Structure 1
Amino acid sequence: MAFCEPWTAERGYSVEISDWRKKIDELDEQIVNMINQRAIAAKAIGDLKRIADLPVYEPKREQDVFDHVKAVNAGPLDDAEMLHVYERIIDVMRTLQRRDS
């Protein structure tokens, strides 16, 4: 299903709520897969940090990630909202790295 314009007063609903929910389910599957891929990469980095005796928490790297996220964020979430999502993702990835150390 391709995205189409949401409800407008002039045109009514362009698709049914069930169609949008199906699209959300499809997107959620992709997001879960991508988060798991990111976790695999974070775990590999954690293994390398452990071997090199480097700290799990790297504030400069996290700021670089946040800066990159803001640079590529086209909305509709504003940067603060998107960063809130990424803060949680990074926190979970950091926990994964520590857990496996």
Structure 2
Amino acid sequence: MARADGSGESAELRRLRRRIDALDRRIVRLLNERAELARVVGQAKVAAGRRAIRDVAREREILLRVTMANAGPMPQADLLTLYRRLFASTRALEAADRRRVARAGRIAAEEVGDD
């Protein structure tokens, strides 16, 4: 039986877990890259005069594409849940960015008014 310190693990199990660990690091990097791109998209939406943060049609399009790309074994429902959570996270980042820009604008306007 394997112990908490891993000393009872087989070499094969350790190798497989190292592969999972490496994949986890890649997934985290990719999620952060995606989040950063979503923030840039949010800035572009503001520059284009779009007020809404959420784009339901775009989210639906992504979910459809992800569903079509999933060959398993990840269950579709679980994958969709992950993506919906990802959407919520990136919307929260975009909202925080907008608040930060609005706050900076108010501060700048106050400083100009103080002259």
Match of 2:23 in 1: 27
More helix, by proportion: 2
1: distance between equivalents of 2:61 and 2:94?
18
1:49 to 45, 51, 54: 45
Off by >6 Å, runs of 4+ in structure 1: none
The Cα of 1:97 is off from its aligned counterpart by: 0.8
The Cα of 1:21 is off from its aligned counterpart by: 1.3
1: distance between equivalents of 2:79 and 2:54?
21
Match of 2:92 in 1: 95
2: distance between equivalents of 1:21 and 1:90?
29
2: distance between equivalents of 1:85 and 1:20?
23
Provide, for residues 44-88 of structure 1, a one-character-per-residue CA deviation record: whole Å limited to 9, x for no partner: 000011122211111111000100000100110121111011111
Matches within 5 A, 1:41-80: 41-54=37-50, 55-80=52-77
2: distance between equivalents of 1:57 and 1:88?
13
Q: Give the greater-gyration-radius structure (CA).
A: 2
Count of residue pairs the alignment pairs up: 88
Secondary structure in 2 matching 1:16: helix
Partner amino acid, structure 2, of 1:67 = L
1: distance between equivalents of 2:21 and 2:89?
22
- RMSD, aligned CA: 1.5
User: Taking structure 2 as the reference length, what is the TM-score of the superposition?
Assistant: 0.72
Secondary structure in 1 matching 2:60: helix
2: distance between equivalents of 1:100 and 1:21?
37
Partner amino acid, structure 2, of 1:89 = L
